[in-house]
């Protein structure tokens, strides 16, 4: 067989400074971390920010989180979506950027099996699964890839410096940039000025962006987001008649169909080792997410859900059936609205048994209070322009009815003002809004003059990120 030369399309086309920059985009969040190539429409890799810890080592990705002995699930971020464990953060990011995203590198000739010496066999090491080896082997693993990272607008100066330090020193990136998520989300909606309402997994936040800059005094956040909603569902299930048992999928060995409302007829798996609470909680979250995606809705009005008559009306409407992994199932009618109502009306939130449970909502934490406080933090002349340019992003805003309700509440809160809520129609654009924005920005031919270069970093130190990425 004759050897074919590489076609031009497979040959490397990096012309740093042109449109062909092989930049990487990394968008870390509390629930998941997204990574991919600049210029693409979607992140190539989305993995949980939760990772497994077993026998003193860390393992990453959705598929490794399975029941096993001595297995714990951890997260490298804190609930404010700020990195807490930098060692784990570095490892999980390396797993994404180096292992999952980088093209396979040619095996060195002494190991590729074509040059076997007299002593025979090729050693089949298990190094394939070991990220650390990979990093050690390559001194500067990202020496050809500029890296754009996103961050929450309240990220600390220390965390920002740490991010550039790892990129430049550990990975050898030739260039680096940090983008604040509300700014890129606002740009992706075609607006240099907007009030960005971002309801994600761990946090709901409202941030005013003016001419592409975050207005610091406008930043408001609260935990009334996806995980909070999960806890509301837990409480609702506990208080339901009959009580709904939260049995995650991994526990169920087999099940038989049962009537609605009847107890489950299922055989549960038993494990010869204890299941860590953190693993169980992670698996429960999968089930709760499914319930949120298929059953929960936001009450669209008229008025609030708790207004007289609304609950009876909701009860009379067609419901949704949800089948648990163990086969038990029931129809959810008015509850599927009630469970999300606390986002808007703190008096409607389910109170769980524990006094200072996370489920508690105070008045200042609802989405509407965040918007109000955010607007009060900016110059009065800017407010009407911001209300006319609201950009909604984040997975939790995908709940049916969310935008209708937001519109209705804002109209009641700011009568006479022009209110316009913009939400990307494509689900993916709202789930990955910040990533997509970062991807476009870093793929622009002109963006090469924005990057913080290695040289600039070497001259100024990590403090440069505070000066440049405003």
Q: Nearest-CA neighbor of 187 among 470, 438, 455?
A: 438
Helices H, strands E: what count in the chain? 15, 19
In sequence order, which residues have a C-beta less than 8 Å from that of residue 319 and are 6 or more positions away?
331, 332, 333, 336
Q: Take residue 179 and report the two structure tokens written for it.
A: 């983008």
Specify the 3-state DSSP secondary structure of 148.
strand
Residue 174-203 contact track with other proteins, rule CB under 8 A, x = bound: ---------xx-xxxxxxxx----------
- Per CB under 8 A, the list member of 104, 119, 211, 241 interacting with other proteins is 211
From residue 339 to residue 358, the character string flagging contacts with other proteins as x (rule: CB under 8 A) and all else as - is --------------------
Is 447 a binding residue for other proteins by CB under 8 A? The answer is yes
CB of 176 to other proteins, least distance (A): 15
| 306-310-315-316 Cα dihedral, nearest 10 degrees | 180
What size, in residues, is the chain? Answer: 470
Nearer to other proteins, 198 or 326 (CB): 198
Considering the complex, what minimum distance in angstroms separates the CB of residue 415 from other proteins?
17
Query: Dihedral angle at the C-alpha atoms of 402, 155, 58, 108, nearest 10 degrees?
Result: 110
Dihedral angle over CA of 185, 396, 400, 252, nearest 10: 140
- The correct pick among 414, 448, 453, 468 for binding other proteins (CB under 8 A) is 448
Q: Toward other proteins, which CB reaches closer, 150 or 289?
A: 150
446 lies in the site for other proteins, by CB under 8 A: yes
Q: Which is nearer to other proteins, 270 or 446 (CB)?
A: 446
Give the nearest distance from C-beta 208 to other proteins in angstroms.
13
Residue labelled with tokens 């509440």 = 409
Q: From CA 378, how far away is CA 371, in angstroms rounded? A: 11
Residues in 13-52 at the binding interface with other proteins, rule: CB under 8 A: 19, 39
Q: Which stretch binds other proteins (CB under 8 A): 214-222, 288-296, 315-323, 439-447?
A: 439-447
239 interacts with other proteins by CB under 8 A = no
Interaction between residue 382 and other proteins (CB under 8 A): no
Cα–Cα dist 470/461, whole Å:
16
**CB nearer other proteins, residue 212 or residue 301:** 212
Residue 9 in contact with other proteins, rule: CB under 8 A:
no
Q: Binding other proteins by CB under 8 A: which of 131, 283, 346, 429?
A: 429
Vertex 31: Cα angle to 342 and 172 (nearest 5): 145
Q: Residue holding tokens 């409480």?
A: 235
CB of 192 to other proteins, least distance (A): 5
Name which of 97 and 214 has its Cβ closer to other proteins: 214
Residues near 379 by Cβ (< 8 Å), separated by ≥ 6? none
In the complex, least distance from residue 190 CB atom to other proteins, rounded to whole angstroms: 3
Please state the φ and ψ torsions of residue 36, each to the nearest 5 degrees: 180, -170
420 binds other proteins (CB under 8 A): yes
Element of type H or E holding 423: strand 421-423
Q: Which residues bind other proteins (CB under 8 A)?
A: 19, 39, 183-184, 186-193, 211-212, 385, 389, 420, 422, 424, 429, 436-437, 440-441, 444-450
């Amino acid at each position: 067989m004759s050897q074919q030369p590489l076609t031009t399309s497979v040959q490397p086309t990096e012309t740093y400074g042109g449109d062909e920059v092989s930049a990487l985009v990394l968008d870390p969040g509390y629930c998941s971390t997204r990574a991919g190539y600049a210029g693409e429409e979607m992140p190539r890799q989305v993995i949980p920010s939760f990772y497994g810890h077993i026998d003193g080592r860390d393992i990453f990705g959705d598929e490794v989180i399975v029941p096993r002995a001595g297995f714990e699930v951890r997260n490298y971020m804190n609930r404010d979506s700020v990195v807490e464990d930098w060692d784990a953060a570095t490892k999980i990011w390396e797993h994404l950027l180096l292992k999952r995203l980088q093209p396979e590198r040619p095996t060195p000739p002494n190991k590729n099996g074509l040059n076997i010496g007299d002593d025979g066999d090729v050693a089949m090491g298990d190094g394939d699964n070991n990220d650390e080896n990979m990093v050690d082997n390559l001194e500067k693993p990202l020496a050809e890839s500029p890296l754009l990272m996103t961050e929450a607008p309240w990220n600390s100066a220390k965390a920002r410096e740490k991010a550039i330090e790892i990129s430049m020193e550990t990975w050898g990136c030739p260039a680096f940039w940090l983008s604040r998520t509300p700014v890129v989300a606002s740009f992706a909606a075609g607006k240099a000025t907007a009030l960005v309402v971002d309801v994600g997994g761990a946090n709901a936040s409202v941030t005013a962006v003016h001419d592409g800059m975050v207005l610091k005094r406008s930043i408001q956040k609260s935990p009334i987001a996806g995980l909070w909603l999960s806890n509301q569902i837990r409480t609702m299930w506990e208080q339901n008649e009959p009580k709904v048992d939260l049995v995650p999928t991994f526990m169920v060995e087999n099940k038989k169909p049962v009537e609605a409302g009847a107890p489950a007829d299922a055989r549960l798996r038993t494990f010869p080792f204890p299941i860590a609470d953190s693993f169980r909680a992670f698996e429960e979250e999968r089930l709760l997410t499914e319930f949120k995606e298929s059953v929960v809705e936001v009450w669209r009005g008229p008025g609030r859900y708790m207004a007289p008559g609304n609950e009876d009306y909701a009860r009379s409407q067609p419901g949704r059936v949800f089948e648990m992994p163990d086969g038990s199932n029931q129809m959810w009618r008015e509850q599927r609205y009630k469970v999300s109502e606390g986002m808007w009306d703190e008096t409607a939130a389910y109170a769980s048994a524990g006094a200072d449970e996370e489920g508690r909502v105070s008045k200042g934490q609802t989405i509407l209070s965040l918007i109000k406080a955010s607007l009060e933090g900016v110059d009065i002349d800017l407010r009407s322009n911001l209300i006319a340019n609201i950009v909604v992003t984040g997975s939790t805003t995908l709940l049916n009815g969310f935008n209708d309700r937001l519109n209705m509440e804002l109209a009641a809160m700011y009568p006479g003002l022009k209110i316009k809520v913009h939400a990307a129609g494509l689900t993916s654009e709202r789930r990955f809004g910040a990533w997509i924005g970062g991807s476009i920005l870093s793929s622009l031919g002109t963006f090469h003059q924005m990057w913080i270069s290695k040289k600039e970093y070497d001259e100024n130190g990590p403090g440069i990120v505070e000066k440049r990425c405003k």
